[in-house]
């Protein structure tokens, strides 16, 4: 059915999906659109022409729109996604809200727009709970919204797999989650009660009615959502979001989306490794230092010889600098600044200096905000810095310490495998790659790398099997998608690499 949809019909489907949901499906995304259409027609036991006719109505059936959004949206997220963001929220934005209230009463309203299955607003609730008693006496509302009703149903249940917790430190898992079997974790009831969920299409006009909240928002999180809209729908959503923010409130977008935000009511403000927007005129404290862009790139793999790789920063994006207010005092802020300096040193190839700074901030044991969010990040960076100066025993030790904090993180097992490969311990590398694949069966670079290692161990059947799994997963991606942990390699390029290595490609 997917291949049978005529081009002119796909063009019309793409237009109508954009009208009713805001989602943008240009030609390169037509395979995804076709697959979604096929799934909806199968579910409704209809054909593409009847489905098209229903979408051409001014008000299509809600069931049809819900099915389309369920099939066409990807709610891939996890708890504490981008710890740097939550660190900024904890150290700077929330203290700014406390010191300079946006309203007469002690009230804060947070909205996670496009929250998918709820990990982001629940992460905020965990952060708020962690910050008590600093916030005692405050009336705090946290709202999560999404266009996908199925995702919201899951969010309201508050039950997650270990995949959603892959970058969550072990102490937080122990405090806020209960293992209920089959790698399923139930979120603590008092955290679930802190968040309310509503179905909302960002193309709608009356946000307040859908959210059942007529207060202006202190902070709106709309991370990794605007990228799925075309220019017209994106600008429409941004205008509505801006109208929903209280004066001096914040709009938080994803790292790649800040350039989309050009509303005159908003002032861009630089923080360490991020750029966010505050509603209102600029302040003296908004003036940035010279910005330094530091990108945690993926592990650089030489496809012909994975042992000769350079261990580099993994994919979380960073910039440097300034603050909302001048109230940032306390011992944890200097440690965080030192971490930023170590990160910058690493990006410039000054691995020894990075090691010195990271060792200094980790030597005192867990304390302050660093232990809550950035301590594991510091261990990961230290492991990579040691690896790049050839001190592999130290690199392995710090990677294993990071793993003791984030036991469900497949990326850390992948990192450990690169360290084992650098030490020519191929058996240990294979073992850790298997652990990474167990945690994330769709980890393409892990399948590819273990396939290469199997071939090096003269295990052609196992090698071919792993490479073919990687190939199957690659064909589900758009050709231009850049693969995690591939140092910028696209899906199409890796497909060609694998085909050149195996006759079964």
For 132-183, where are the alpha helices, taking DSSP H only?
149-157, 170-176
Residue 382 resides in a domain:
yes
CB 167 within 8 A of CB 78: yes
Kindly state whether residues 300 and 371 are assigned to the same domain: yes
Please state, in angstroms and rounded to a whole number, the distance separating the CA atoms of residues 308 and 431: 19
Instruction: Compute CA distances 215 → 37, 212, 241, whole Å.
Output: 38, 9, 13
Residue 16 resides in a domain:
yes
Residue 78 resides in a domain:
no
Kindly state whether residues 207 and 115 are assigned to the same domain: yes
Kindly state whether residues 230 and 313 are assigned to the same domain: no
Residues in the chain: 505
Kindly state whether residues 198 and 91 are assigned to the same domain: yes
CATH number at residue 169: 3.40.50.150
Kindly state whether residues 307 and 282 are assigned to the same domain: no
Kindly state whether residues 62 and 189 are assigned to the same domain: no
Please state, in angstroms and rounded to a whole number, the distance separating the CA atoms of residues 398 and 362: 11
Residue 1 resides in a domain:
no
Q: What b-and-e string marks burial along 237-275, b requiring 16 or more CB atoms within 10 Å of the CB?
A: bbebbbebbbebbbbbbbbebbebbebeebbebbbbbbb
Per-residue pLDDT, 339: 87
Strands laid side by side in the 266-271 sheet: 195-199, 139-146, 107-113, 217-222, 245-253, 274-279, 266-271
Instruction: Compute CA distances 104 → 38, 108, 134, 138, whole Å.
Output: 53, 11, 18, 12
Please state, in angstroms and rounded to a whole number, the distance separating the CA atoms of residues 115 and 445: 28
137, 156, 244, 146: which is closest to 194 by C-alpha? Answer: 156
Please state, in angstroms and rounded to a whole number, the distance separating the CA atoms of residues 210 and 124: 21
Question: Which residue is associated with the tokens 């590398």?
Answer: 429
Last residue of a domain, one of 51, 72, 93: 72
Strands laid side by side in the 177-181 sheet: 159-161, 184-187, 177-181
Contacts of 345 (CB under 8 A, 6+ apart): 351, 353, 354, 357
The pair of three-digit structure tokens given for residue 212, joined into one six-digit string: 């059942």
Residue 298 resides in a domain:
yes
Last residue of a domain, one of 231, 258, 286: 286
Residue 169 resides in a domain:
yes
Q: pLDDT per position in the chain (505 positions), as tens?
A: 445 788 999 999 999 999 999 999 998 888 889 999 999 999 999 999 999 999 999 889 999 999 999 889 877 789 999 888 998 999 889 998 888 877 888 999 999 999 999 999 999 999 999 888 788 889 999 999 999 999 999 999 999 999 899 999 999 999 999 999 888 999 999 999 999 999 999 998 889 889 999 899 999 999 999 988 999 999 999 999 999 999 999 999 998 898 899 999 999 999 877 899 999 887 765 544 433 333 333 443 333 344 444 454 433 333 333 334 333 333 344 577 788 899 989 999 999 999 999 998 888 644 444 556 788 899 999 999 999 999 999 999 999 999 998 999 999 999 999 999 999 999 999 999 999 999 999 999 999 999 999 999 999 999 999 999 999 999 888 888 889 888 889 999 999 999 988 754 4
Last residue of a domain, one of 225, 251, 286: 286
Kindly state whether residues 131 and 205 are assigned to the same domain: yes
Kindly state whether residues 451 and 483 are assigned to the same domain: yes
Contacts of 270 (CB under 8 A, 6+ apart): 286, 288, 289, 291, 319, 320, 321, 322
CATH number at residue 365: 1.25.40.10
Per-residue pLDDT, 275: 92
Kindly state whether residues 113 and 168 are assigned to the same domain: yes
- In what helix (H) or strand (E) does residue 139 lie, and over which residues does it extend? strand 139-146
The residues that bridge with 197 in the sheet, in sequence order, are 144
Kindly state whether residues 162 and 272 are assigned to the same domain: yes
Kindly state whether residues 142 and 186 are assigned to the same domain: yes
The residues that bridge with 271 in the sheet, in sequence order, are 274
Q: What b-and-e string marks burial along 139-163, b requiring 16 or more CB atoms within 10 Å of the CB?
A: ebbbbbbbbbebbbebbeebbbebe
Q: How many domains does the chain have?
A: 3
Please state, in angstroms and rounded to a whole number, the distance separating the CA atoms of residues 337 and 19: 45
Residue 77 resides in a domain:
no
Kindly state whether residues 276 and 422 are assigned to the same domain: no
Per-residue pLDDT, 286: 54
Q: Which domain holds residue 409?
A: 294-501
Residue 415 resides in a domain:
yes
CB 399 within 8 A of CB 380: yes
């Amino acid at each position: 059915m997917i291949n049978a949809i005529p081009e002119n019909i796909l063009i019309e489907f793409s237009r109508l999906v954009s009208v009713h949901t805001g989602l943008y499906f240009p030609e390169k995304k037509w395979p995804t659109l076709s697959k979604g259409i096929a799934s909806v027609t199968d579910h409704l036991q209809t054909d593409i022409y009847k489905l098209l006719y229903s979408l051409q109505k001014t008000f299509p059936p809600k069931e049809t729109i819900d099915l389309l959004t369920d099939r066409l949206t990807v709610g891939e997220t996890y708890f504490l996604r981008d710890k740097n963001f939550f660190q900024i929220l904890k150290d700077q934005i929330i203290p700014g809200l406390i010191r300079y209230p946006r309203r007469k009463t002690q009230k804060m309203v947070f909205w996670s727009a496009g929250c998918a299955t709820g990990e982001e607003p629940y992460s905020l609730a965990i952060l708020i709970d962690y910050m008590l008693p600093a916030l005692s006496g405050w009336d705090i509302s946290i709202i999560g919204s999404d266009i996908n009703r199925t995702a919201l149903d899951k969010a309201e249940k508050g039950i997650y797999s270990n995949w959603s917790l892959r970058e969550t430190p072990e102490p937080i898992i122990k405090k806020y989650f209960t293992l209920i079997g089959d790698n399923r974790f139930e979120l603590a009831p008092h955290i679930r009660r802190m968040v309310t969920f509503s179905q909302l299409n960002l193309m709608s006009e009356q946000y307040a009615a859908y959210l059942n909240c007529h207060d202006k928002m202190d902070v709106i999180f709309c991370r990794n959502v605007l990228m799925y809209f075309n220019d017209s729908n994106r600008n429409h959503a941004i205008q509505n979001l801006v109208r929903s923010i209280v004066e001096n409130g914040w709009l938080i977008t994803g790292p790649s989306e800040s350039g989309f935000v050009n509303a005159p009511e908003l002032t861009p403000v630089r923080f360490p490794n991020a750029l966010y927007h505050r509603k209102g005129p600029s302040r003296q404290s908004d003036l940035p230092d010279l910005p330094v862009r530091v990108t945690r790139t993926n592990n650089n793999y030489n496809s012909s010889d994975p042992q000769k790789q350079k261990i580099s920063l993994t994919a979380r994006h960073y910039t440097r600098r300034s603050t909302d207010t001048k109230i940032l005092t306390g011992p944890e802020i200097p440690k965080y600044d030192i971490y930023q300096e170590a990160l910058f040193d690493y990006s410039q190839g000054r691995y020894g200096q990075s090691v010195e700074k990271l060792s200094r901030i980790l030597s005192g044991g867990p304390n302050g905000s660093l232990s809550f969010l950035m301590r594991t990040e510091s261990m990961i960076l230290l492991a990579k810095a040691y690896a790049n100066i050839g001190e592999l025993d130290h690199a392995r030790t710090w990677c294993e310490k990071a793993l003791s904090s984030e036991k469900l993180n497949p990326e850390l097992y992948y990192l450990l495998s690169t360290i084992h490969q650098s030490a020519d311990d191929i058996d240990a590398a294979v073992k850790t790659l298997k652990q990474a694949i167990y945690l994330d069966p769709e980890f393409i670079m892990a399948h590819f790398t273990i396939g290469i290692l199997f071939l090096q161990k003269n295990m052609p059947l196992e090698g071919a099997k792993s490479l073919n799994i990687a190939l199957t997963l690659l064909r589900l991606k758009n050709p231009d998608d850049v693969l995690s942990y591939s140092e910028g390699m696209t899906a199409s390029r890796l497909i060609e690499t694998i085909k050149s290595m195996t006759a079964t490609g």
